[in-house]
A and B are shown apart, each in its own frame.
Chain A
Amino acid sequence: NAGVMQNPRHLVRRRGQEARLRCSPMKGHSHVYWYRQLPEEGLKFMVYLQKENIIDESGMPKERFSAEFPKEGPSILRIQQVVRGDSAAYFCASSLTGTGVEKLFFGSGTQLSVL
């Protein structure tokens, strides 16, 4: 039973390029969360999605960032026109019911480096 899978593990982009981060939740989980962790800081919530729906995007920057979780396939976090400040570890997590009262299972993260 595979855990939460994220790819790529490391992603290098130049300023102005696009970054696409992928996350496949644990088998049977339909609730996906994206968190960002800047160097030497804690995890910051970005967005919570269910299949084909964005439930809570209160932590997403207003511009350049978007997320989706289609009916088929992984969840995608997309960052357009990346800037150096986007360099961070991006973690995806999934849960079974999404009620906030159960634990999250995290993927290994994608380390984004913007040159």
Chain B
Amino acid sequence: RKEVEQDPGPFNVPEGATVAFNCTYSNSASQSFFWYRQDCRKEPKLLMSVYSSGNEDGRFTAQLNRASQYISLLIRDSKLSDSATYLCVVNNNAGNMLTFGGGTRLMVKP
């Protein structure tokens, strides 16, 4: 089983749609969780950290469910510029480096 698993997609949605991605992780001792965004052939950039209480940043909402070991990202009112690959990231057993999921590709169409 992979440490961090994501549906690769692609998710094809129209502008203005709401889309949600889930991610599962295998290490119950993981303590830090993030969503990164990666545009084609570019470096990953932090989108948001994920907290147990859930957190929101504009159109983006992240949730963490420790009992089920999954993380979600909700994007409301999708924009064309949201088209990218979204990477779920979890810290590893030793806590000193981050493990990336394979990414979920989002394509927002006009």
Which A residues fall within an 8 A CB radius of B?
33, 35, 41-45, 48, 55-56, 89, 91, 98-104, 106-109, 111
CB–CB B97/A33 < 8 A? yes
**Contact A91 B43, CB 8 Å, known A100-B91, A100-B92:** yes
Chain B nearest CB from A53 CB (Å) reads 12
CB–CB A56/B95 < 8 A? no
**Contact A99 B96, CB 8 Å, known A89-B41, A107-B43, A108-B42:** yes
Q: Mark B23-48, 1 if CB is under 8 A from A, else 0.
A: 00000000110100000011111100
Choose the segment among B55-63, B65-73, B76-84, B99-107 that binds chain A (4+ C-beta atoms closer than 8 Å): B99-107
Across the interface, B102 reaches (CB within 8 A) one of A41, A55, A91, namely A41
A contact residues around B99 at 8 Å (CB): 45
CB–CB B96/A43 < 8 A? no
B contact residues around A98 at 8 Å (CB): 96
CB–CB B91/A35 < 8 A? no
**Contact A101 B91, CB 8 Å, known A41-B102, A42-B100:** yes
